[in-house]
Amino acid sequence: MITAVDVIRAKRDGGRLSDEQIAWVVDAYTRGAVAEEQMAALAMAIFLRGMDARETATWTGAMIDSGERLSLAVDRPTVDKHSTGGVGDKITLPLAPLVAACGAAVPQLSGRGLGHTGGTLDKLESIPGWRAALSTDEITRQLNDVGAVVCATTEGLAPADRKLYALRDVTGTVESIPLIASSIMSKKIAEGSSGLVLDVKCGSGAFMKTPEQARELARTLVEIGTAHGVATTALLTDMSVPLGRAVGNAVEVAESVEVLRGGGPADVVELTVALAREMLALAGIDADPAAVLASGEAYETWCRMISAQGGDPEAPLPVAEHVHVVPAPRDGILEQLDAYAVGVAAWRLGAGRARREDPVQHAAGVVLQAKPGDRVSAGEPLLELRTDTPEAVAGALEALEGAVVVGDGPVSQRPLVLETVRA
């Protein structure tokens, strides 16, 4: 007979958990037969001792089996994307309609922001009328009609992950690569897509701070996807500087629309097209996403996608009541703009949340008037801090202390896409 204490001891002592032990403990925890304190002890043992590739794949499968799998009756090849989270990471917004405009179906089940990283659903909810909660039938219908859907994860997908994530959040075990990877992949595999591209970020604004950590996570994610029959590729991308020039909710939607209309910041366009190429390759579609983006077809798909979920793509977006300008301290070259600090500043302005139940301000955020490598003049605007609560500005300014460095240059530009990891 398997018991929770035996499983905890096995991992505590550096042993390998059997398939049977993993299946039992995940199922029993989901049902409430394993106590929170016991799973907390096991999560810490996994955090300290790790899991090998088979354990991680089996743990992922057990979390998938804790709930339902989406069965998508779609007449196009399905392919999805997931980002490990960053600052100004709005890529899902232009990417989903772009890949759909190229002929694939993109079922993008997304989440909300927590801490310094933004959430896709929070951004889209700044569009008047748009709704995140869709039924499985609505998801399938929209994929067939439009080709793309961005919505909340259905309640039945991987309930073990939802319960375990909340526990990890309060027990200091979030940063375990096997637990991060199984959390991501259990939901993505349960969505039912045949292909998955992962954007694994590294740098100050990411959870993985170094390329080595990001590479280990990327390889683990690709191994899990491959083990479960999902064609999986990962890109390692830089998150030492915020993506684009907008960090927040409505401001990121506005920037995404600029990209879909053929403009927008070069780094957002570059990463959107790079991820689209990988997604289309997995879907077996021969199309040039850069040409489709320039043609305006992706913007038309965006409008249909937003309208299908009750939103008005032409409606004005929320505008912050208060704007505080941070000026350049001297003439010179902007040498550093720390992504993590900017993310924390946006969070404190109201764009993010400290707890999952907290509300967000749709208009809050940070707008960058310069990026590293740009020449600036003393007193000219570097950052705009936008909020509906002016008293929040002091905390945002505190977060930005030391984050901005203006010098004499030159600045060595780190590539945006660092490497690709395939099965």
Query: Residues 15, 17, 21, 23: what is their CA dihedral angle, to the nearest 10 degrees?
Result: 160
β-bridge partners, 62? none
Max Cα separation, the chain? 71
Q: How far is CA 324 from CA 369, 386, 405, in A?
A: 13, 7, 19
Of 27, 64, 52, the C-alpha closest to 230 is: 64
Tokens of 92: 């899902």
422 catalytically annotated = no
**Candidate list 11, 66, 80, 82, residue with the active-site label:** 82
**Candidate list 81, 112, 163, 168, residue with the active-site label:** 168
Of 181, 177, 179, the C-alpha closest to 221 is: 181
Question: How do strand 106-110 and strand 148-152 relate by DSSP bridges?
Answer: parallel
For tokens 């232009």, the residue is 94
**Candidate list 163, 187, 304, 362, residue with the active-site label:** 187
| Residue 69, Cβ density class (10 Å: 0-12 exposed, 13-18 middle, ≥19 buried) | middle
Angle in degrees, CA 96, 347, 149, rounded to 5 = 15
16 catalytically annotated = no
SS3 label, residue 231: strand
- Output b/e per residue, 363-392; b: 16+ Cβ within 10 A: bbbbbbbbbbebebeeeeebbbbbbbeeeb
Contacts 24+ apart (CB under 8 A), 125-128: 125/249, 125/362, 126/249, 126/250, 126/253, 126/317, 126/318, 126/362, 126/363, 127/253, 127/306, 127/311, 127/312, 127/313, 127/315, 127/317, 128/311, 128/312, 128/315
In the chain the first and final C-alpha atoms are separated, in Å, by 37
371 catalytically annotated = no
For tokens 């759909």, the residue is 100
Q: Answer for the pair 82, 198: CB distance below 8 angstroms, yes or no.
A: yes
**Candidate list 161, 199, 238, 267, residue with the active-site label:** 161
Q: Cα–Cα distance between 233 and 217 in angstroms, integer? A: 12
186 catalytically annotated = no
Integer-rounded Cα radius of gyration of the chain:
21
Residue type, 167: L
Enumerate the active-site residues. Answer: 82, 161, 168, 183, 187
